[in-house]
Amino acid sequence: MKPTPADIAIAIAKAELGDWIDPTDVPLCWMCLLYDPDGMLVTDGCAPTANEAMAFAWLLVHAPDALHNAYVEPGSVPYDIPLGWRFELTPPWCSRPDRIDWSQRLDPSA
């Protein structure tokens, strides 16, 4: 399962409008962990729907400051997802952002 180009476009628009969920404020949301083709955890996304959570994760791997800057450089986020990327979803009734094991990240300082 992966987000559609439309899901990605919606996530970009929401990021630029400031219409995104902070999981510390809204702990019951869809959580998506995104793994790169090497199996490394690279980012996460949180949203009211599974597709939005995946799209936000995809957005953040390409534009990590998009939510805080409310800006996405045109063309910086691909709408087609190459093979090998894995989106791991957790539904709201099971999501616990404090349980994400970030030690798997490529760059722990990021």
Q: Per-residue confidence of the chain (110 residues) as pLDDT tens digits?
A: 899 999 999 999 999 988 877 766 766 789 999 999 999 999 999 898 999 999 999 999 999 888 888 899 999 999 999 999 999 998 887 755 555 554 555 444 44
Alpha-carbon distance 39 to 96, whole Å?
Answer: 21
Give the pLDDT confidence score for residue 93 in this predicted structure. 79
Give the pLDDT confidence score for residue 92 in this predicted structure. 84
* CB 20, CB 79: distance < 8 Å: no
